[in-house]
Amino acid sequence: MTRLSVNINKIATLRNARGGMVPDIVKAAVDCQDFGAEGITVHPRPDERHIRYQDVLDLRPHIHTEFNIEGYPTETFIELVLRVLPEQVTLVPDPPGALTSNAGWDTIKNKKFLSGVIARFKEAGIRTSIFIDTNEENIRHSAETGTDRVELYTEPYAENYIKGKESAIHPFVMAAEAAQEVGLNLNAGHDLSLENLKYFTGNIPGLLEVSIGHALISDALYFGLQNTIMMYKRLC
């Protein structure tokens, strides 16, 4: 069974739109766990337009499942992660002004940089994951950085699913097999939804975890948070 980590960034976006503390980020995370989520994901960005750095500190004592912090590894981000000590850190190649994650790492070009960052996290006992596309060369070179996992960037799958799910998933199956060949464990995330999740989890070998935020939080407006998490878990 693939584990479900709920990305709560969009809840923070709603709070920040009005100011104040409503909705309560900590309560939302605790509720997600109580409703069955096996992890909580946050992605603090330098402009703090959704999750703030203080949110990450506030959340840490309340996460009893798995805390996954995503982000581009600036020195400020690295210091935050080393202070919080989450169970997992996922490195993404977002520039500071990016609206959302839209590409995976070039692990050939950035191998030395990633290796140094990952070594610092692993020394602190934090599991590491690299956000990556389906390029098999990038996946194979990921193994040389010392990372524990790669997270497949699934927006292309979601975009092509309605055109033909078999062709949409094929490069992801190949990427998963490449990851297994070089001893990397596998996560996935970005634009996975109630529509396309079951086919993905049912066909990707060795998939340990999916991180889902935008679609899940949007569905919760219609179905309620508890029911929505249960719906997603059934697809895992």
User: Where do the structural domains in the chain lie, given as residue ranges?
Assistant: 66-235
Residue-level pLDDT at 235 = 98
Q: How many CB atoms lie within 10 A of CB 123?
A: 9
Residues 127 and 165: their CA atoms lie apart, in Å, by 32
Residues 229 and 231: their CA atoms lie apart, in Å, by 5
Q: Is residue 144 classed as helix, strand or coil in its secondary structure?
A: helix
Residue-level pLDDT at 96 = 60
pLDDT band (50, 70, 90) for residue 95: low
Residue-level pLDDT at 51 = 97
Residue-level pLDDT at 97 = 58
Residue-level pLDDT at 77 = 96
Average pLDDT score over residue span 6-10 = 97
Residues 13 and 217: their CA atoms lie apart, in Å, by 11
Percentage with pLDDT > 70 across the chain: 97
- Residue among 38, 66, 70, 151 flagged as catalytic: 70
pLDDT band (50, 70, 90) for residue 131: very high
Q: How many CB atoms lie within 10 A of CB 156?
A: 16
- Residue among 38, 43, 50, 209 flagged as catalytic: 43
Active site residue 62: no
pLDDT tens for each residue of 17-67? 998 999 999 999 999 999 999 999 999 998 999 999 999 999 999 999 999
Active site residue 190: yes
| Residues 67, 39 contacting (CB under 8 angstroms) | yes
Could you tell me which of 25, 74, 28, 91 has the C-alpha nearest to residue 52? 25
Residues 231 and 236: their CA atoms lie apart, in Å, by 9
- Residue among 50, 66, 141, 190 flagged as catalytic: 190
User: In whole numbers, what is the pLDDT of the chain averaged over residues?
Assistant: 95
Residue-level pLDDT at 103 = 73
Greater confidence, 211 or 97? 211
Q: Which fold has domain 66-235?
A: TIM Barrel (3.20.20)
Active site residue 170: no
Average pLDDT score over residue span 101-116 = 89
